[in-house]
Chains A and B, each alone.
Chain A
């Protein structure tokens, strides 16, 4: 087998060095009843060509985003990633290294993480960011848990604009940790409604901007209300590119920001792996979950980087840790930081402007379709429309015509707002794509 270097002669020699007759002797501690006598009932080994054929056949059954006019978003966005990014993250030294436990021979990963943390902190307008979380949804759940530790309160208020699957992820964790969640009714433009729900037990309010319906919100007033009540403001962002054009959460009073970083550097890949961005204010850093790279010096006084503040973490604190997180999303974070370094502020701003411009064109085009109503008042690259009939059927009909028209809201929350469709556009969206969506929608809903 091509991945196994030992020859039968090696195996025989090595067994004699060990001083046993055969390899079965090495499994002597396994109860006899649990030892399998032969291979399990699965196919035998296959060469590269055969594996390519089998997996290629599965891949060919999927309609790729790049092959159709494509408008899906709702927390995962199709952007163009420069070829340099994918080349660099496949370098052996990044791809096949582990968590940088030995800093003297891991400076590549550590410096890249330190740069990543700085980029993320600046992008979100926050003081400090960690070395990444699994994704935006788990980062949100962890942010809520962190807020309960900081405030020693046990209630979280979730806005009606928070992505429903983020809500469910957070509720799943909060429920077992004894944290009460109050989720407000889903609404297109109602982030500020959380203010009414704040009470003396409230640890945090969680709002999303742009929210799941695409609505961008100035959360400054929410921050003030939360802080007056001794609660923290958690801001969720699922489209990182929006921050090239929209005011940063930190500038509006956020205490913790949990964001999805997939848009920068990472392909759609049917939902993962992605990269969670997590940032907070300096004074909260010791309650932060996840890995942190920090600057220090070596024995010769040269600058270097290490994983630090690990007394928060599971391998030191065990059952007293701030989180159980161990593996993060290292290589996706690397893709993020490389893409962001290539973009720079200038490129990010230009990219964000193109996204907004294409979304405006799509909005204008759909507004002209009879029976279709635009619902989102302020948006970046995604907006919600009301259709004259259930959105799932419309989307299926358009898919049959070769158009991936967007995400029905009811896909995220079965049975709710059946006639609402979420439509996203990015720099990959062409004017022809928009026309295909407009004409297709007009036909299907006529």
Chain B
């Protein structure tokens, strides 16, 4: 069948004013629908799940029946499908373009991992089934532990922490328990470099430690002299991210570990940036006592719009006995046992991080990724991640100012905003203008030690063509900024689903949930 084209224009007509824009009548824009909230479109009596209405004697509920309306609208299946597909189209994603958020390691998420996690043998297994019925699940945890220990050169691992910050908590609790066991419970200070992730000082304070900041040198590393001066008989631990949040390897890390141990303290490493060194450097060889590993960064479990993550913590001999419950014990003959008691077998577990055994679904995905890469592939991961970052640094340095131009960076390139001096344009403006060009911005204003920081982490899964496309967009923006094209930046984004959002208003007049316009609307069921 062919379309009848008689009388129908087949080329756009020239308009008098090419800049003419008008708001649409519906709020929709091309493929982007203006989507209402489910509370504005669903119905209290509609459901997208076919379930029978059963006759029921409610006497076993002890009079606790819920008689009033709950306030949960329902959608039919086609309506639900459209609602969530429409919303999805308003998200940037790694599957769409580079997602260069420094410190977040937004890499490709293999779909094989998703398929493996959904095998009924993993997904449809209850955490408290008899252990004889979950030998494969325990074997998987044991295998994952073996890979993590081998890659880090550490003798033990606590798998159960549910995210990076939860892993930090686990590591500090083990450190605290170890000090108490040695009669060193009076040690109450944790040293944290000024460039650290916010979770480091937050975690230390959360477990009752005083946080003391360690200065940074002009070349972006821990100031070892300042550290040496601050280590003392009250120091419980030092928390160092390596490679650090400036994207640099701590050259003096072995000396930092030596000084820390000499002072009777433990060395906690934030492993958020492990992707830069996996397969090439083992933290155990650097003198680390505890390090969390974000499986959702280095080992590609999907970020899912903010979680779930997983943050297993590898531990040194000194800290291993204090690992939290539970852990897997292998009988060496293919059989496995989950030890859920908090004491016994020379163990002095400091407690428990969570109910059950941690993020099994993430363990499966991470192991699937490790098996796929193998020891050789993982080494290549680190090399390509570092190569990509240095390539972007080299290309962007022609217009932008690198915060630490001397020497190579690791997996991420850090720029400051000196190149914007005199333009009236800020780091935030550049980020929003990048959105217009189709890219997710880099991490902005972090680390705090660099003015107007722009932290760019491409990861190893970006092809060269995408790196070039991103670099050219950013270089073009840099030239536009220097040419004084203020409007391009100050009003950006113009082409995203929404323009710049008023975050001040959101915080001053918090509206954290939908409420009916009239209080009776809910009850009108």
Residues on B with beta carbons closer than 8 Å to the beta carbon of A117: 512-513
A446 interface residue (CB < 8 Å to B)? no
CB within 8 Å of A: which of B28-83?
35, 37-39, 42-49, 51-54, 56-58, 60-66, 68-75, 77, 80-81, 83
A51-B368 CB under 8 A given contacts A40-B282, A107-B90: yes
A399 interface residue (CB < 8 Å to B)? yes
B513 and A114 form a contact (CB under 8 A): yes
B375 and A40 form a contact (CB under 8 A): yes
B101 to chain A, nearest CB (A): 6
A30 to chain B, nearest CB (A): 6
| C-alpha gap A398/B296 in the complex (Å) | 38
B249 and A30 form a contact (CB under 8 A): yes
B179 to chain A, nearest CB (A): 11
| C-alpha gap A173/B100 in the complex (Å) | 35
| C-alpha gap A178/B209 in the complex (Å) | 11
A94 and B129 form a contact (CB under 8 A): no
Q: Which residue of B lies closest to A120 (CB)?
A: B513
Q: Which of A25, A36, A72, A107 contacts B129 (CB 8 A)?
A: A72
A432 interface residue (CB < 8 Å to B)? no
CB within 8 Å of A: which of B278-316?
279-282, 285-286, 296, 300, 302-310
Q: Which residue of A lies closest to B324 (CB)?
A: A172
A63 interface residue (CB < 8 Å to B)? yes
B136 and A35 form a contact (CB under 8 A): no
CB within 8 Å of B: which of A129-145?
129, 131-132, 134-138, 145
| C-alpha gap A168/B118 in the complex (Å) | 30
Q: Which of B57, B121, B306 contacts A327 (CB 8 A)?
A: B306
Binary contact readout B109-150 vs A (1 if CB under 8 angstroms, 0 otherwise): 110101111111111111111101111110110010001001
B163 and A109 form a contact (CB under 8 A): no
Binary contact readout A189-224 vs B (1 if CB under 8 angstroms, 0 otherwise): 000000000000000000000000000111000000
B120 and A328 form a contact (CB under 8 A): no
Binary contact readout B463-488 vs A (1 if CB under 8 angstroms, 0 otherwise): 11000000000000000000000000
A35 to chain B, nearest CB (A): 7
A227 interface residue (CB < 8 Å to B)? no
CB within 8 Å of B: which of A338-372?
338, 340-351, 353-354, 356-357, 360, 363
A71 to chain B, nearest CB (A): 10
B418 interface residue (CB < 8 Å to A)? no
A298-B122 CB under 8 A given contacts A88-B81, A273-B359: no
Binary contact readout B393-427 vs A (1 if CB under 8 angstroms, 0 otherwise): 11100000000000110100000000000000000
B253 and A270 form a contact (CB under 8 A): no
Q: Which residue of A lies closest to B500 (CB)?
A: A299
* Extra 12 A-B pairs, beta carbons < 8 Å, given A39-B279, A52-B116: A42-B375, A59-B121, A95-B95, A96-B106, A111-B35, A118-B39, A165-B355, A271-B355, A296-B502, A296-B506, A338-B80, A378-B62
| Stretch from B1-9, B225-233, B261-269, B383-391 contacting the other chain | B383-391
Residues on B with beta carbons closer than 8 Å to the beta carbon of A50: 371
Residues on B with beta carbons closer than 8 Å to the beta carbon of A217: 64
A284 interface residue (CB < 8 Å to B)? no
Q: Which of A56, A178, A327 contacts B119 (CB 8 A)?
A: A56
Q: Which of A61, A103, A177, A349 contacts B139 (CB 8 A)?
A: A61
A135-B162 CB under 8 A given contacts A118-B39, A172-B350: yes
B96 to chain A, nearest CB (A): 7
Q: Which residue of A lies closest to B76 (CB)?
A: A342
Question: How many of A's residues come within 8 Å of B, CB to CB?
Answer: 208
A343-B74 CB under 8 A given contacts A75-B355, A134-B354, A302-B499: yes
A-B pairs with the 5 shortest C-beta distances? Answer: A344-B74, A59-B121, A331-B304, A271-B356, A172-B351
A101 to chain B, nearest CB (A): 7
A351 and B281 form a contact (CB under 8 A): no
B91 interface residue (CB < 8 Å to A)? yes
B524 interface residue (CB < 8 Å to A)? no
B304 and A105 form a contact (CB under 8 A): no
A324-B168 CB under 8 A given contacts A62-B137, A106-B92, A122-B72: yes
A18 and B125 form a contact (CB under 8 A): no
A143 to chain B, nearest CB (A): 14
B49 to chain A, nearest CB (A): 4
List 12 A-B pairs, Cβ < 8 Å: A23-B386, A42-B147, A43-B375, A76-B128, A92-B95, A94-B84, A99-B307, A106-B91, A134-B163, A272-B162, A298-B500, A345-B73
A82 interface residue (CB < 8 Å to B)? yes
Q: Which residue of A lies closest to B379 (CB)?
A: A39
Q: Which residue of A lies closest to B438 (CB)?
A: A105
Q: Which residue of A lies closest to B70 (CB)?
A: A345
B66 and A244 form a contact (CB under 8 A): yes
B367 interface residue (CB < 8 Å to A)? yes
Residues on A with beta carbons closer than 8 Å to the beta carbon of B318: none
B187 interface residue (CB < 8 Å to A)? no
A395 and B49 form a contact (CB under 8 A): no
